[in-house]
Amino acid sequence: MPKKYIYLIITYIAMQLSGVLALPFVQQIENPEAFSVGWSVATFALALIISIYFLRDEVSEFFRTEQKQIGTIILWSVLGFILVFITQIVAVVIETFVFGIKPGSQNTMDLMNIARQAPIFIIIISVLGPILEELVFRKAIFGSLHKRMNFFFAALLSGIIFAAVHMDFSHLLTYTAIGMVFAFLYVETKRIIVPIIAHMAINTYAVIGQLSIDPEQIEEQLKQLEQLQLIIIGGY
């Protein structure tokens, strides 16, 4: 793995662990929730700036290329959004009706609760997070693995790591499957910008969908899905 990718991964890990540095300050601040959100946005933005610096040669190469194929990028990004959307639905159905896992990601709910209280947090979910994750998990990790093994195993391993980082192990299948789709987009287009756009789009779609629904309605929908699950499973 090139050194710049190692530095990229270290930067991402440091960003994820940076909250530990903020703990001493949180207890002394009048509004700790706002401080925590501001700290998260600042550290994500700083990590992205540092990551782009490490990849500055590849970024500049893209802008120097005369044939950027913008139309192809847009087409594949739209297709990628659709593929991720369908994959997510299929994975959730399998988790629910095959493995008996309750629908609804706790990780997503926690992020949405923060976004409702501090809308600026949406920039992490819709922009900063997707860009960083694609640079780390697809470009650095998957890209390095794919040089040593076939697509399926490289995408699977990087997808599992991507899923584990989200700390929502009950939905490991969903996150892994989504990660594999992003890897497919990267391989097919040979441009990391495509899975980045698709990732940003699906996250933004989820944010809009979640914020437009009252939290009580979400709970009611989850209960209805659980009842349907019991009916179907009980019918076997």
pLDDT tens string 39-75: 899 999 999 999 999 999 888 877 777 666 888 999 9
- Domain assignment present for 161: yes
> Which of these, 131, 146, 141, lies nearest to 9 by C-alpha position?
141
Which domain, by its residues, includes 102?
67-234
Decide if 171 contacts 162 (C-beta within 8 A): no
The number of distinct structural domains making up the chain is 1
**Does residue 211 fall inside a structural domain?**
yes
Quick check: is 199 catalytic? no
What is the reported pLDDT for 189?
92
Does some domain include residue 33?
A: no
Q: What is the mean pLDDT of the chain?
A: 85
Answer whether residue 35 is part of any domain.
no
Residue 62: inside a domain: no
Is 153 a domain residue? yes
133 a catalytic residue: yes
Catalytic residue among 133, 134, 171, 199: 133
Q: Which residue among 134, 146, 166, 199 is the active-site one?
A: 166
Residue 73 lies in a domain: yes
Q: In angstroms, rounded to a whole number, what is the distance separating the alpha carbons of residues 235 and 108?
A: 31
pTM greater than 0.95 (yes/no)? no
59 occurs within a structural domain: no
The pLDDT of residue 68: 66
